[in-house]
Chains A and B, each alone.
Chain A
Amino acid sequence: MKKALMWLLMLWKRLLLKKGFILLLVMIPLSALLINLSASSEHGFITIAVATDSSDELSGAVADELCNDKKAFRFLRCDTEEDAIRLVESLKADAAWVIEPRLAESITVAAPAGKLKIATVYQREENVLLRMAREKLYSAVYPDISYSLYRSYVTEELLPNQKISEEELKEYYSQYSDKESIIDIVYPDGSAYNEKSDYITSPLRGLFVIMLMLCGLASSAYFLSEEKRGVYSLVTSGKRTLIMAAGNLCALITAGMFVTLALVMSGLYTDFWRESLNMILLIITSTLFCTCLGRIIGSVNGLCLTVPIILVTAIVFCPVFVNLNTAKPIQILLPPYHYLNAVYDGSVLWNSVIYSLSATAVCIILGCIRKRNAR
């Protein structure tokens, strides 16, 4: 036991003396910090220039509401229609919305007659995102449209002969105004939806685990390089695979701590127990994956050439930027795939356990083959 601990300590210490490894570890939380800081500034998947009539209070309020809602869309206020169109023509905005002048008046008169015009939209070409963005504008104006429909119906159809004051109408309407949303959003395991999710920070979890896997692959490469230099010449062939795995484990535990820190810094950290269990399984599966790969390839040069392929494969087939439902045999070989799928669905964790058992068997077989070849 003491010997094993000594080995672990030495393997850990030698990793911490490698500048490249330290650089990679430091980059994980640093990139979380930088991306998080930049994500706090204005951004949006599409940019919309909004031009309003300065004398109209309602259109100003609508524009303010849109500009304060920082999620998928970014809104820029413009003073004039020409300024907004110029932004579209110069590719600085994807669309320009010129809100109708005297919008409040227009809603009051035209909405009940079904002839409402909210805005003139200038865009380069129609696409699904711009359609969805218009839903947002409609949603911002809808409370006034709704009130106008109600008011018009009550005064003109329901009680045409009664003189109802505006205050009375508003009093009836405001009684039911403070209702909560009728839709709750949750994840498959019942946990609350992360309302702070942002398309800029969302892929960070995937990128961090890929960097974690890179730490494991680097550790395998360091081991192979040391083995070639004869550092482990006093160790029997059979035990060298075990030492490689131990070295990878040390590297991945260290990387795992940095990734956890980065997740906390980027606001992606969810629940302590779920994250801890998921991370432990990721460390185990990545250790076994990197050890198997290192043993199969067998040389530093070969492993270094394979790493870019592994990384590209992981970025493409794991749900880092997109969730491709294809090439399942490749996906299930990659530890990040199981980890990322288990983040919000705990039932998938069993896949990591099965993976660990299978990869352990492969490592043992590779170790035995190596031992036999060495005799």
Chain B
Amino acid sequence: MISALNYLRTQFKRSLKYYPAVIAVTMALIVCAGLLLFGIIANNEGKESKLKVKVGMVGEIEESHMGVGISMLQEIDSSRYYVEFVPLDTKEAEKRLKNGELLGYINVPEGFVDSVIDGENLPLTYIAGSDPSALTPLLIEEVLSLVSDLVLECQNGVYAMYDAGQNYGLEYSELRNGMEELNIRYFDAMFSREEAFTVKNIGTGKELGFGDYYMAAFFILLPLLWGIVCLPLETKRDMSLYRMLRSRGLSPFAQCVGDYIPFLLIIAIGTLLMLLCGNAVTAHLNMSLGIFGSANMVSSFISLLPAVILVTAMQFLLYELTSDLISTLLLQLISTIGLSFISGIFYPAGALPSILRNIGAVTPVGVAFDSIAALFNGYPGTADAFICLGYAAVILLCAALVRSIRIRSVGK
């Protein structure tokens, strides 16, 4: 009779032989995605300018009204916090748009200002770049819509005033003065629009900042990717070995435990390495980001473990479902991408439609992510850990059940 301990020992040895390959691929993954993401987050953390976009201005913007208008926008208007207007010529604007240095550029036609004064309104053309996120273009669309409304309503009021004055027999010079004065009032109202709001900040409470959120997401994505890297080790191509073990007294559940623990160990060691690397980098940059920079690495690692156990249990179950290497790869990748999307790894969960948010929250990836987010927030909960471990136990039982069914099925 083969004991569970002997089987576990054998699987450990088998995993250790494969570990150098895992390390090599893991390092490639870290170099490729992790440091880049880390750099982006570290550069953008805490800066309000992180969403400040550049919009080019092409055309006759040096003439007095347009040039003054843009200067005023950049210096005193509240839009200076999120958009920067860059005067350029057409060729430079096209080049910078292609290179992604500009979100878009506005083409100001010749005689634009005069056309607005005369009420003919030659249109401005905004040439939009193909930003994939669609969020910043959406926001710029909102801003452009506001600009158009401000100009049109101002025009409305000034022309209406002119008509009223003309109807009541006012002289041209009085009407001209009236137009200028009313324009000034409109400008005043426009530039002081922030004062129309009384803003009270009530504190962040239990909310993760931008950098911490995506660092927590990274801590879920990496174990998922490492799990896929273990593909040649974990794919159950042939059930004959497991049938033999079953016939020698090793139950499917014991087999699953013997296979799962070395798999978990590989991922857990990878997570520890990630923590050590992150700590070294944050110490070098003299900053604190998420749980990096924390004094107690052991405590951080132990707090991360329940989430890692849950994610690896899910992957282990997926490995039990297929027998072909390539099908296993495809299943793992589809699950990783799909579950990551709905669990808020790519977009903040709050930004997703409620149906996706609700489904994502109950998936293993979503539950693990919530647990890590709580840890990053400084509020690690034992309840989160127990939920992760309980969920993982259920998944492993399912994996054992699948193993048992596959062992019994003939000819597979």
Q: Is the CB of B164 within 8 A of A305?
A: no
A143 within 8 Å of B (CB atoms): yes
Q: Is the CB of A172 within 8 A of B164?
A: yes
Q: Is the CB of A182 within 8 A of B132?
A: no
CB contact list, A32-50 vs B, under 8 A: 35, 38-39, 41-47
Contacts of B110 in A (CB 8 A): none
Docked complex Cα distance between A373 and B234 (Å): 33
Interface contact tally, CB-CB below 8 A: 362
Stretch at the interface among A5-13, A321-329, A364-372: A321-329
Q: Is the CB of A91 within 8 A of B157?
A: no
CB contact list, A182-224 vs B, under 8 A: 182-188, 193, 197-203, 205-207, 211, 214, 218, 221-222
Identify B160's interface contact among A128, A175, A320, A327, CB under 8 A.
Answer: A175
Of all chain A residues, the one with the shortest Cβ separation from B78 is: A131
Docked complex Cα distance between A242 and B330 (Å): 24
A304 within 8 Å of B (CB atoms): yes
Of all chain B residues, the one with the shortest Cβ separation from A327 is: B36
Docked complex Cα distance between A39 and B199 (Å): 31
CB contact list, B171-205 vs A, under 8 A: 174, 178, 181-182, 185-186, 188-189, 192-205
Can you list, as one digit per residue, whether each of A302-322 has a CB less than 8 Å from chain B (1) or not (0)? 001101110111001001111
Contacts of A158 in B (CB 8 A): 161, 164-165, 170, 174, 178
Q: A158-B170, A164-B164 are in contact. Are A42 and B354 (CB under 8 A)?
A: yes
A19 within 8 Å of B (CB atoms): yes
Q: A146-B154, A182-B151, A325-B99 are in contact. Are A308 and B196 (CB under 8 A)?
A: no
Q: Is the CB of A176 within 8 A of B142?
A: no
Majority secondary structure, B binding face: helix
A360 within 8 Å of B (CB atoms): no
CB contact list, B217-241 vs A, under 8 A: 225, 228-229, 231-232
Q: A72-B138, A162-B168, A186-B128 are in contact. Are A124 and B204 (CB under 8 A)?
A: yes
Docked complex Cα distance between A269 and B342 (Å): 23
Contacts of A316 in B (CB 8 A): 32-33, 36-37
Stretch at the interface among B248-256, B308-316, B321-329: B321-329
Q: Is the CB of A183 within 8 A of B351?
A: no
B238 CB to nearest chain A CB (Å): 14
Q: Is the CB of B157 within 8 A of A305?
A: no
Q: Among the interface residues B167, B178, B197, which one has the most CB atoms of the partner chain A within 10 A?
A: B197
B28 within 8 Å of A (CB atoms): yes
Q: Is the CB of A91 within 8 A of B146?
A: no
Q: Among the interface residues B25, B347, B353, which one has the most CB atoms of the partner chain A within 10 A?
A: B353
Q: A44-B351, A206-B132, A312-B32 are in contact. Are A183 and B123 (CB under 8 A)?
A: yes
Q: A175-B160, A304-B325, A321-B346 are in contact. Are A72 and B142 (CB under 8 A)?
A: yes
Docked complex Cα distance between A243 and B161 (Å): 77
Q: Is the CB of A142 within 8 A of B149?
A: yes
For this complex, 7 residue pairs linking A to B, each with C-beta atoms less than 8 Å apart, are A124-B202, A127-B51, A150-B160, A162-B168, A197-B138, A307-B329, A312-B33
User: Besides A218-B329, A316-B32, A324-B36, 11 other CB < 8 A contacts?
Assistant: A18-B326, A38-B353, A41-B354, A114-B192, A122-B202, A125-B204, A139-B150, A142-B146, A143-B153, A199-B134, A307-B228
4 tightest A-B contacts by CB?
A20-B327, A202-B134, A150-B157, A146-B153
